[in-house]
Amino acid sequence: MSRNVGTNKRLRPVFIDEDLVKQLLDWHEARHAIEQAFVAVSNQSREPGARYGDQPVSSQPARTFVQAEGGVLLCMPGFVGQHQLTSGSDERTSTLACKLITSFRKNASVGLPSINGEVFVFSSTTGKLEAIVEANYLTGIRTATASLVATDHLFLRPARASAPDGMVSIQLGIVGCGFQGMMHAVGFVRTQSMARVRTIRLWNRTPARAAQLKELLIEERKKTDSNYSVFVCDTVEDCCRDCDVIVTATGSGEPLVYRSFLKQKVHINAVGAGEYHHAELAQDVYDDCQVYIDHWEGARKELATLRSNIVGEVGEVILRESHPKGASLLPKPDGMSVFQSLGMASEDVTVGRLVYEKHLKAHDRSDRD
């Protein structure tokens, strides 16, 4: 039964604005929500008889794009069944939600973010709209967290397992220091239990934006009691040099990163999109790497022109860690891995539900005060 059934006032969906989302969401809880989304999608991709009953499931069609004069509207509906809200809890919930998000590249000239969106959270038993969650920060934290999860499962966990003391430190490269580049850099420094960040190298088309991010990361260094160095680089090549982990988060329609810029073993989170999603990395990178995706359904449509070796979904890699049957999907020990992040509705579903549930909890508490 929906919690909103009751008075007329309670029938109205709640509106959770950007400031509240920032207060309610934290990196560690977001990580669990994103892992649930990845696993739900991959559990659903299995043959019905091979699905794991103790894992969530999902229903998520490829998203639709509506082209307008200045940009595009994406409609991203999804359902995640029987997902866990918090790590280790026995409590399960099911969530139906839809994110509507626009991408208008020239918005900076009028002082607005280029990406703007809302997540609509519905009751999965009555279909009633329960909450509208502003989704700019939400999209930032969920996209960065998807990259953190992919980096951890594909690159850092295997590295920790073979390190004598179980500890790993990385040099991180951020190509594109807009909102997503910033959220990714902050995400890596806030979750250093995965890997200590030694150095961060930044590149942006307009160097002033990279310099701004450097200032922010120096503030973060104090807050997180870290001792990494931060460099602003003049070229993408210099930014990528010697990096273990790279994030590309630009709107470039031309390749920015070439194989010759990279170490033999490196993990790249390719997040940005120009005209198509795999624009940022050169073909010689795709010729020499193993690609991991968030979901096949979207990849069949949005990565149709990608020429590379797509190994599978990140969620399937996670499922095989806890249910070790079949061949490992992990990258070759000395090879290069790319997480080709499209972004998917199930991520917004589980993170949208998390925000709404935390809002309800905070609200109940203040009612009692």
Ligand X SMILES: NC(=O)C1=CN([C@@H]2O[C@H](COP(=O)(O)OP(=O)(O)OC[C@H]3O[C@@H](n4cnc5c(N)ncnc54)[C@H](O)[C@@H]3O)[C@@H](O)[C@H]2O)C=CC1
Residues that bind ligand X (CB under 6 A): 103, 114-115, 139, 143, 176-181, 204-206, 209, 249-252, 271-273, 341-343
Among ligand X, ligand 2PC, none, the one that 251 touches (CB under a kind-dependent 5 to 8 A) is ligand X
Residue nearest to ligand 2PC (CB): 343
Token pair belonging to 297: 């359904």
Helix (H, G, I), strand (E, B) or coil at 101: strand
In the bound state with ligand X, the residue whose beta carbon lies nearer, of 181 and 187, is 181
Among ligand 2PC, ligand X, none, the one that 271 touches (CB under a kind-dependent 5 to 8 A) is ligand X
Min dist. Cβ of residue 293 to ligand 2PC (A): 13
Among ligand 2PC, ligand X, none, the one that 250 touches (CB under a kind-dependent 5 to 8 A) is ligand X
Min dist. Cβ of residue 257 to ligand 2PC (A): 19
Residue nearest to ligand X (CB): 178
In the bound state with ligand X, the residue whose beta carbon lies nearer, of 155 and 203, is 203
Min dist. Cβ of residue 366 to ligand X (A): 33
**Cβ contact 144:171 at 8 Å:** no
Other Cβ atoms less than 10 A from the Cβ of 348: the count is 32
Question: What's the rounded Cα separation, in Å, for the pair 362 and 369?
Answer: 11
Per DSSP, helices labelled H in 135-294 are 136-151, 157-162, 179-190, 207-223, 236-240, 283-286
Question: What's the rounded Cα separation, in Å, for the pair 280 and 302?
Answer: 14
In the bound state with ligand X, the residue whose beta carbon lies nearer, of 101 and 197, is 101
In the bound state with ligand 2PC, the residue whose beta carbon lies nearer, of 62 and 74, is 74
Min dist. Cβ of residue 82 to ligand 2PC (A): 23
Which residues would be at the binding site for ligand 2PC (CB under 6 A)?
74, 101, 103, 115, 139, 273, 343
Token pair belonging to 342: 């499209």
**Cβ contact 243:263 at 8 Å:** yes
Q: How many CA atoms lie within 13 A of 110 on its CB side?
A: 7
**Element housing 322 (H / E):** helix 314-322
Amino acid at 312: G
Among ligand X, ligand 2PC, none, the one that 180 touches (CB under a kind-dependent 5 to 8 A) is ligand X
Min dist. Cβ of residue 272 to ligand 2PC (A): 8
Among ligand 2PC, ligand X, none, the one that 177 touches (CB under a kind-dependent 5 to 8 A) is ligand X
Question: What's the rounded Cα separation, in Å, for the pair 339 and 97?
Answer: 25
Among ligand 2PC, ligand X, none, the one that 41 touches (CB under a kind-dependent 5 to 8 A) is none
- Which candidate, 245, 293, 282, places its Cα nearest to that of 265? 245
Min dist. Cβ of residue 244 to ligand X (A): 21
Min dist. Cβ of residue 279 to ligand 2PC (A): 12
SS (H, E, C) 284-314: HHHCCEEEEECCHHHHHHHCCCCCCEEEEEH
Q: How many CA atoms lie within 13 A of 315 on its CB side?
A: 28
